């Protein structure tokens, strides 16, 4: 059930997104990460500003939240984002173990505005050999050494 607080945080993501456009700082996206009712991190899209194609609002907010909390594990956190997360951001949200996502615009809304990720979803559904991005597995025996070391070390940790 959505609360007045959820709506407040969502409106803040809209303000981040709108401000980003008005300031010509980047795309129309904003994200806020909250834990125990407190904002841990917030960010607008920083792709153009930072020349970093991974600097989506959600990724930037996740990076900042992890830095602020001193952890890579954001369990107990909620992310509010002005738009349904793209495949990259959704993957990062899962990896960060964020508990829930609230979003405003849908991926269809994003596509209608020129931010279309449909081709990525299509590519991911294809077998690797049929994708437009050439992917080649190489030096598998040598690559396996690091995994073997990880499996055998007593100093490993789950993440």
Please give the positions annotated as active site: 58
Average pLDDT over residues 63-76: 98
- Give me 48's structure tokens: 């153009």
pLDDT at 99: 97
Q: What is the pTM of this model?
A: 0.92
Q: Is residue 72 a contact partner of residue 40, using CB atoms and an 8 Å limit?
A: no
Query: What angle, rounded to 10 degrees, do the helices at 4-22 and 57-69 form?
Result: 120
pLDDT at 158: 77
124-138 pLDDT, tens digit per residue, is 999 999 999 998 889
pLDDT at 159: 74
What average pLDDT does the chain have? 95
77-114 pLDDT, tens digit per residue, is 999 999 999 999 999 999 999 999 999 999 999 999 99
pLDDT at 156: 76
What are 59-62's contacts with CB under 8 Å, separation 24+?
59/88, 59/89, 59/92, 60/31, 61/31, 61/32, 61/33, 62/33, 62/92, 62/93, 62/96, 62/98
Percent of the chain clearing pLDDT 90 (strictly above): 90
Does residue 34 register a pLDDT over 80? yes
137-152 pLDDT, tens digit per residue, is 899 999 999 999 999 9
Average pLDDT over residues 52-76: 98
């Amino acid at each position: 059930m959505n609360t007045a607080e959820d709506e407040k945080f969502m409106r803040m993501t809209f303000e981040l997104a709108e401000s980003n456009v008005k300031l010509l700082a980047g795309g129309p996206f904003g994200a806020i990460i909250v834990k125990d009712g407190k904002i841990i991190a917030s960010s607008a899209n920083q792709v153009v500003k930072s020349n970093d194609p991974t600097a989506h609002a959600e990724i930037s907010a996740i990076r900042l939240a992890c830095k602020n909390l001193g952890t890579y594990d954001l369990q107990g956190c909620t992310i509010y984002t002005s738009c349904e997360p793209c495949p990259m951001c959704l993957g990062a949200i899962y990896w960060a173990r964020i508990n829930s996502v609230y979003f405003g615009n849908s991926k269809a809304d994003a596509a209608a505005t020129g931010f279309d990720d449909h081709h990525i979803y299509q590519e991911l559904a294809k077998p690797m050999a049929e994708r437009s991005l050439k992917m080649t597995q190489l030096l598998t025996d040598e690559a396996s050494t690091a995994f073997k070391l990880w499996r055998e070390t007593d100093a490993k940790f789950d993440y």
